[in-house]
Amino acid sequence: IDKNLILEGEKRVDGKLKTCWVHPSIHKLSIVKAKEDLFLEIQSAPRCNYSSSRVRHKVIHSESHSYFQSQTPAPSLRSVLFVLPSGTSAQIHNKQLDLICQQFSLLKVLDLQGLLVGRNLPKGIGKLHNLRYLNLRKSGIKSLQKSMSHLQNLLTLDIRGNKLNKDGGLNVVRKMRNLRHLYLDLHPEPWEFDIPMQLRSIGWISQEDLPKNDLQKTQLILIQKLKLKISSCDLG
C-alpha cells in the first residue's frame, strides 16, 4: 500500500483497512506474467482441458461442472477458485468434487462459494491434508462431512448461507486443531457443539452457544473477533 501497488478501499469503524484493490494496469500485468510463468491459468471456455500440469493456481469462470470431464491430474495445483456471474448458481456432482480431492491432493485453497454440491460433501474431502482455506458458502450442504476431521492444516472454514441441520456436524471442527476462523449463520436454536479453544474469530453464534462454566470460558481467551446474538430478555 505504501508503494501504491495496492490501493485502499473501505475502512472499518476503528480506521483499519477492510478492503483493498489492485489498479487495473497492475492487475493485467500480473495476469500476463503469471501466464508466462505457468503460475496462473484462467479458464472461461467450457469443456477446456487443463493446459499444463505445472499450473499452480486456477480460476474457473463457468456455470456448469463441465470442467471436470477431464481426468488429467494436476499435481502442482495449489488453489482453485470458481467465479460465477452475480446472482447465479451452478452445480457440481459429488463425483466431480471427489475428483478434485483425488487429483489435486496439494490444494491449499478451495473456494466453492455458490457452487451447489448437494447435502453432503464426499468423504474424499478429508484427503486434502494441505488445505488451508475452504469456502462452502451457499453450497447447499446440510451437514459437515466426518472425514473433514482429517483437515488438520485448515485455518479458515466458511459455511455461511447454508441451511444446516440442528447440529450440522459441527463437532467435527473440534478435531481441526489449527482452525482459526469459523464463519456460520445464526440458527433458530443454539448450535450443539463445543467451540474450539484455538479459534481467533467466529460468527455468528447465540449467547446460548457460549461456554457455561468458568473453566470453559478461559479456553476462549484467544478469540479476537466474535459475532454474538444476545436475546432481548438478557438485556434486562
The domains of the chain, with CATH numbers, are 75-87+105-235 (3.80.10.10)
Average pLDDT, the chain: 77
Grade residue 206 by pLDDT with cuts at 50, 70 and 90: low
Res. 108: pLDDT tops 60: yes
Q: What is the pLDDT of residue 186?
A: 72
Grade residue 73 by pLDDT with cuts at 50, 70 and 90: low
Q: Which of 180, 182, 200 is nearest to 191 (CA)?
A: 182
Q: What is the pLDDT of residue 176?
A: 93
What is the pairing mode between strands 201-206 and 181-183?
parallel
Res. 217: pLDDT tops 70: no
* Contact call for residues 192 and 149 (beta carbons, < 8 A): no
* Contact call for residues 143 and 166 (beta carbons, < 8 A): no
Q: How far is CA 65 from CA 76, 93, 94, 146, 189, in A?
A: 21, 8, 11, 25, 35
What are the residues facing 61 on neighbouring strands? 83
